[in-house]
Amino acid sequence: MCAATTYTLPLGPLHVALEEPMYFDIRLEGETVRSVELTAGHVHRGMEALAMQRNYFQNITLTERVCSLCSNSHPATYCMAVENICGVPVPERARYLRVVADEVKRIASHLFNVGIMAHLTGFDSLFMHAMEVRELMQDAKEGVYGNRMNLGQCVIGGCRCDIGPEEAAFLRGQLELLKPRLDELYGVYERDPLIRARTRGIGLLPLEEARRHAVVGPVARASGVAYDVRRKAPYAAYPELDFEVQSDTGCDVHSRALLRLREAVESVKIILQCLDQMPAGPINTGDMPAIPAGEAVARSEAPRGELIYYLRSDGSDTPQRLKWRVPTYMNWEALQVMLQNCQVADIALIVNSIDPCISCTER
Amino acid sequence: MNEVARQAADRAVAQLLGPGAVAWTTDACGNAFGWARLCSPASLAALAPLLAGAGARLMTVTAYRKDKFARLEGREISYHFDLDGVVLTVAVCLPEGPPRVPSITPWFQNADWNEREFAELYGIELEGHPNMRRLFVDPALDGGVLDRLVPLSAMMNGASTTTLWEKVFAGRELPAWAKAEAKGEPN
């Protein structure tokens, strides 16, 4: 065998193992990655410029279309920012309804990510199984909200769609079906020799590196940073709900996947608590409130981690500035640590382990 | 609210600006939001190490014009920090021509992308940034697109062709602006 040579491997922006376009310039020594350079911008749509030219109501629709997998987190956090500026209290019932929508989306998003991980390891029957389990949540979304991806649930001052006894019974039924299947999936992901061989000990992000890059969400929590906005800065009905913030010290691809599955289990508990505790009453405040001049920040825990919206109002009907920063934005640069010294064959698995959302990142 | 974190934020800002420099608000769930203002970009380089020492995490950075349609001069940048659940927003006023601000990457590594983004969208210059290449916008495109008024109609008509207007005004004289647009002249 000849001596190892150093060369550059271009990966992306369109590549079978990447779901969205990102370009990596990877310097290799033989099969080993030595350094990574990222080039972004392939789906930059100038959405923040658009948001400044649409009125507050239209921006609910715009923000829901930033991303598909966390599409409820965006309008929900945007509405929270507007409500913070106006000081509009959201009705009690709507606070619970917002949690239900967020957690249903979280389960579907996490199952999608772990499913893709199975596909990238070559375990396609597990991929299809995870996607079939996810279908329970897709049907729940369709049954309750009428849509399988964009729920259109949030409005300024509350929610659009109530969950009546019939929808609640249907949602409970789906969750009861989901519980044993999630447990079964967890067992497979935890113990299957192929999954373990391909995902344990790769894509390492030690605690100090996680802090240095200020990563968020499951990526941070699997590296020991137990930060969850739902607990650290609670919003909606989370202060009244009982759930455990998941964290791990595995720091690798495997621990991130298991952590997402455990979070999905917690989400099931959260939704069931909401269905039990939700008080009767109005689900929104009715009319659009007047938006005074001012500024506000709102945060939420999207499936991929902390999502922040900053809104500045000059008192007109369109925002003076609307800025949002999505969780994946924080996690890209940490890939330089995770990919260091990995094998070419593991690149796609490691990239997938941050659950990247590029259309979110670039807006 | 995390009272310990709130006091840590207060102390860090007070070391530079004196006590009471942070105004605090709360949301419906009682979460604390601090608001501080720096009148010179140079003081940002003094505040950043104090905040880093207090355990702050940079969440994001927002650049904006005081008048979003650029009819009046004046730009600001808001830096949003988190201290264990408490949000601190520090607004920095920028000087005119050219707007410049020191990079805070020596204390907050994740400022890298945020700073590159506002540099390319608002044409703001950075001092001491380690890697100033474009982040999202292709180098072939003009910088600072969010720093000037681009009317929505112009933004949305970007891809329209003369053929479109010829169809719209079929059988009639093309208006002067449509002719100018066809020649690629500003109207």
Length of chain A equals: 363
Q: How confident is the model at residue B164 (pLDDT cuts 50, 70, 90)?
A: confident
What value of ipTM does the predicted structure carry?
Answer: 0.89
Burial of B59 (0-12, 13-18, 19+ CB in 10 A): buried
Kindly give the residue spans of alpha helices, DSSP state H, lying in A206-357: 207-212, 217-221, 229-232, 253-277, 327-331, 335-338, 347-353
Three-state DSSP state, A89: coil
Rounded CA separation A58/A37 (Å): 37
A32-39 vs A23-29, strand pairing mode: antiparallel
Rounded CA separation A338/A121 (Å): 17
Q: Which has the minimum average pLDDT: A167-176, B51-60, B71-80?
A: B71-80
Instruction: Go through B117-126 and write b for each residue having 16 or more CB atoms within 10 A of its CB, e for each that does not.
Output: bbbbbbbbeb
Rounded CA separation A168/A154 (Å): 18
Q: How confident is the model at residue B185 (pLDDT cuts 50, 70, 90)?
A: very low
Rounded CA separation A17/A349 (Å): 9
> Which of A33-42, A215-224, B67-76, B151-160 is modeled with the greatest confidence?
A215-224
Which residues, numbered 27 to 66 in chain B, qualify as contacts with chain A under a Cβ-Cβ cut-off of 8 Å?
A: 27-29, 31, 33, 35, 57-60, 62, 64
Asked if B130 has any chain A CB less than 8 Å from its own CB, the reply is no
Cross-strand bridge partners of residue B11: none
Averaged pLDDT, A233-261: 94
How far is the CA of A341 from the CAs of A18, A210, A344, in angstroms?
Answer: 20, 17, 9
Which residues lie closer than 8 Å to A321 by C-beta, 6 or more apart? Answer: A48, A52, A310, A311, A312, B62, B64, B68
**Partner-chain residue, chosen from A41, A308, A329, that has the shortest CB–CB distance to B80:** A308
Q: Radius of gyration (Cα) for chain A, nearest Å? A: 21
Q: What is the pLDDT of residue B187?
A: 42
How near does any CA of chain B get to the CA of A210, in Å? Answer: 11
Rounded CA separation A278/A94 (Å): 9
Averaged pLDDT, B163-185: 74
What secondary structure, in 3-state letters, does A7-66 show? EEEEECCCCCCCCCCCEEEEEEECCEEEEEEEECCCCCCCHHHHHCCCCCCHHHHHHHCC
Rounded CA separation A176/A342 (Å): 40
B70 vs A79, higher pLDDT? A79
CB atoms A214 and B2 under 8 Å: no
Rounded CA separation A312/A330 (Å): 23
Q: Which of B37, B117, B141, B156 to mutate to test the interface with A (most CBs of A within 10 A)?
A: B117
Q: Which of B31, B30, B6, B125 minimizes the C-alpha distance to B77?
A: B125
Q: What is the pLDDT of residue B141?
A: 77
**Type and span of the H or E element at A124:** helix A124-145
Q: At what angle do helices A73-86 and A92-120 cross, to 10 degrees?
A: 150
B32-38 vs B86-94, strand pairing mode: parallel
Q: What is the pLDDT of residue A132?
A: 94
A312, two tokens: 């500045």
Q: Give yes or no for a contact between A149 and A156, defined as CB atoms under 8 angstroms apart.
A: no
How near does any CA of chain A get to the CA of B52, in Å? Answer: 11
How near does any CA of chain A get to the CA of B187, in Å? Answer: 20
> What tens digit of pLDDT does each residue of A178-192 get?
999 999 999 999 999
Q: What is the pLDDT of residue B61?
A: 95
Q: What is the pLDDT of residue A288?
A: 85
In the structure, how many helices (H) and strands (E) does chain B have?
6, 7
Q: Which of B89, B31, B15, B23 minimizes the C-alpha distance to B56?
A: B89
Percent of chain A exceeding pLDDT 90 equals: 72
Q: What is the pLDDT of residue B158?
A: 58
Burial of B96 (0-12, 13-18, 19+ CB in 10 A): exposed
Burial of A149 (0-12, 13-18, 19+ CB in 10 A): middle
Asked if B145 has any chain A CB less than 8 Å from its own CB, the reply is yes
Which residues, numbered 158 to 187 in chain B, qualify as contacts with chain A under a Cβ-Cβ cut-off of 8 Å?
A: none
CB atoms A297 and B134 under 8 Å: no
Rounded CA separation B43/A67 (Å): 37
Calculate the average pLDDT of chain B: 85
For residue A85, the chain B residue with the least C-alpha distance is B27
CB atoms B155 and A325 under 8 Å: no
Q: What is the pLDDT of residue B161?
A: 65
Instruction: Tell me which chain B residues have a C-beta less than 8 angstroms from the C-beta of A37.
Output: none
Averaged pLDDT, B19-48: 90
Q: What is the pLDDT of residue A286?
A: 86
Q: Give yes or no for a contact between A108 and A141, defined as CB atoms under 8 angstroms apart.
A: yes
**Partner-chain residue, chosen from B59, B62, B113, that has the shortest CB–CB distance to A333:** B113
Rounded CA separation A235/B174 (Å): 55
Averaged pLDDT, B158-168: 71
Q: What is the pLDDT of residue A185?
A: 95
How far is the CA of A19 from the CAs of A73, A112, A270, A306, A357, in angstroms?
Answer: 21, 12, 30, 22, 9
Q: What is the pLDDT of residue B160?
A: 60
Q: What is the pLDDT of residue A14?
A: 81
Q: Give yes or no for a contact between B141 and B117, defined as CB atoms under 8 angstroms apart.
A: no
Rounded CA separation A104/A170 (Å): 13
Q: At what angle do helices A124-145 and A92-120 cross, to 10 degrees?
A: 160
A294, two tokens: 């001012």
